[in-house]
């Protein structure tokens, strides 16, 4: 298994812009991003021009993910 970052080229209101996905291949990672049934039940913006990149371990300490809730 590898860690893949799948990023949609286009995204708007109430759409995901990216996922970090553990999968065996980039194709499997994209399939999971498209098929994921998050709160809005639709990730069609990943169907065209999504970028898939393997995330390699960092060489120094860094934040891997932050979650900020405005309001």
Given this model, what pLDDT does residue 15 score?
78
The model's pTM is: 0.74
Residue 66 has pLDDT above 80, yes or no: no
Q: In angstroms, what CA-CA distances link 13 with 27, 39, 56, 61, 70?
A: 26, 13, 30, 33, 15
Check pLDDT > 80 for residue 18.
Answer: yes
Per-residue confidence (pLDDT) for residue 14, from 0 to 100: 74
The token duo for 43 is 């990730």
Which run of H or of E encompasses 27?
helix 26-35
| For the chain, percent of residues with pLDDT exceeding 70 | 83
């Amino acid at each position: 298994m590898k860690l893949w970052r799948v990023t949609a080229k286009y995204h708007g209101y109430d759409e995901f812009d990216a996922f970090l996905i553990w999968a065996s291949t980039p194709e499997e990672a994209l399939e999971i991003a498209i098929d994921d049934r998050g709160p809005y039940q639709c990730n069609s913006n990943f169907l065209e021009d999504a970028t898939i990149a393997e995330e390699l371990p960092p060489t120094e300490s860094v934040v891997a993910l932050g979650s900020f809730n405005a309001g």
